[in-house]
Amino acid sequence: MLTQTVDRLVGLLPAENIIVITNVEQMAGVREVCPMLPEANIVAEPVGRDTAAAVGLAMLLVKQRNPSASMAMLPADALISDTDSYQNALDTAFKAAESSPSLVTLGVQPTEPATGYGYIQCGPVKTVIDNRDIFSVRQFKEKPDLDTAKLYLQSGEYFWNAGMFVWSVDAISAALAEFTPTLKTGLDEIEAGMNEGKDLVALLADLYPKLEKISVDFAIMEKADNVLTLAATFDWDDVGAWPAIERHFPADRAGNVKKGEARFMECSNNIVVAGGEHLVALVGVEDLIVVTTGDATLICSKDKAQKIKDMVKSLGEEEALRRLL
């Protein structure tokens, strides 16, 4: 999916302008699957500090090359097949970001009352670029319950928040300074070290863990009054959650989907992802997600899939506590 994300940009901008922010654990793997990118363009966070810090780090890397540049932040966990429409939408978003000091996001037209996505409420049309309406944004909404999601869908005022942003270096730097001054101060320290020619890996190892941990949506996008959005005209599927598996693998007559070795008896609408040669057998259950790896097993109701992140976080905290004790 990472290489697909990179490949979708070919023709829109050169490879030397594509930067991947990853983590230390996946650094070697990213370099292996992205040989088309210069080695310096693959940068690892020493620890995860959420998306606002990643945005800030990306901004610094771009600023070092061109302080007047515009940049796009594109997650690598979406399936998109219509590359032409994708590039056209991004091109328009760049034009919007370069025509005013705005924070631009691509919104996906909802097709169902999804509860696993954040939403963007559109305001009036702000301008028209490339025959596309560019809307002001009234507000960002967190993942809603089903009844609220139905109201969003019926209103016609909402897009899904795909987490795809375009802005100039100046615009996002100003937003970081206004809404996350503590984070911006930490980023300024990193930038000073970069300007002094210090080794980036050592610099990040020292300063990055001290950065404030906060999402860019919560830190900036939900507070800024200069946010614009345009409708994505391409297909889009966020496969960052396990329920997406059933949209991309065949199901049996009872709606069960498997990847790996699995057997079902009197079951319906389950998702099983079995690692290695491990066999998973389900009897008399429905609407479950079951995932096995070499060292862990996950069992979760489909309607609680969004809670998996919380479980992972709590397990990490428990492991840290054990090490302290």
Model-wide pTM > 0.95 = no
Please say if the pLDDT value at position 255 is more than 50: yes
Give mean pLDDT, residues 293-301: 89
Please say if the pLDDT value at position 259 is more than 60: yes
* Structure confidence by residue, pLDDT tens digits, 3-28: 999 999 999 999 999 999 999 999 99
pLDDT of residue 136: 97
pLDDT of residue 324: 41
Here the tokens at position 167 are: 């802005």
pLDDT of residue 240: 66
Confidence class for position 42, pLDDT limits 50, 70, 90: very high
CB 76 within 8 A of CB 1: yes
Confidence class for position 304, pLDDT limits 50, 70, 90: confident
Give mean pLDDT, residues 73-88: 93
Q: For residue 296, what are the contacts with CB-CB under 8 A and spacing of at least 6?
A: none
3-state helix, strand, coil in the chain (%, to 5): 40, 30, 30
CATH H superfamily, domain 2-238: Spore Coat Polysaccharide Biosynthesis Protein SpsA; Chain A (3.90.550.10)
CB 278 within 8 A of CB 263: no
Place of tokens 């992972």: 312
Here the tokens at position 119 are: 């939403």
Minimum mean pLDDT among 45-49, 75-79, 199-203, 315-319: which range? 315-319
The CA distance from 247 to 229, in Å, is 27
Amino acid identity, position 8: R
Give mean pLDDT, residues 148-158: 94
Q: Which residues, in sequence order, are bridge partners of residue 299?
A: 290
pLDDT of residue 325: 43
pLDDT of residue 323: 46
Please say if the pLDDT value at position 293 is more than 90: no
pLDDT of residue 47: 96
The CA distance from 284 to 113, in Å, is 29
Please say if the pLDDT value at position 309 is more than 90: no
Minimum mean pLDDT among 67-71, 173-177, 273-277: which range? 273-277
Residue 169 vs residue 116, higher pLDDT: 169
pLDDT of residue 117: 86
Give the chain's mean pLDDT: 92
pLDDT of residue 321: 47
Question: How distant is the alpha carbon of residue 218 from its chain centre?
Answer: 14
pLDDT of residue 319: 61
With helix as H, strand as E and coil as C, how does 114-133 read? CCCCCEEEEEEEEEEECCEE
Amino acid identity, position 249: F
Confidence class for position 317, pLDDT limits 50, 70, 90: low
Q: Which residues of 100-115 are buried (b: 16+ CB within 10 A; e: fewer)?
A: eebbbbbbbebeebbb
Taking CA atoms, 232 is separated from 46, 61, 86, 92, in Å, by 33, 27, 7, 10
Torsion of CA 216, 222, 227, 231, to 10 degrees: 90
Of 199, 128, 133, 164, which Cα lies nearest the Cα of 55?
164
Amino acid identity, position 210: K
Confidence class for position 275, pLDDT limits 50, 70, 90: confident
Domain spans of the chain, in order of start? 2-238, 242-324
Please say if the pLDDT value at position 163 is more than 50: yes
The CA distance from 261 to 284, in Å, is 18
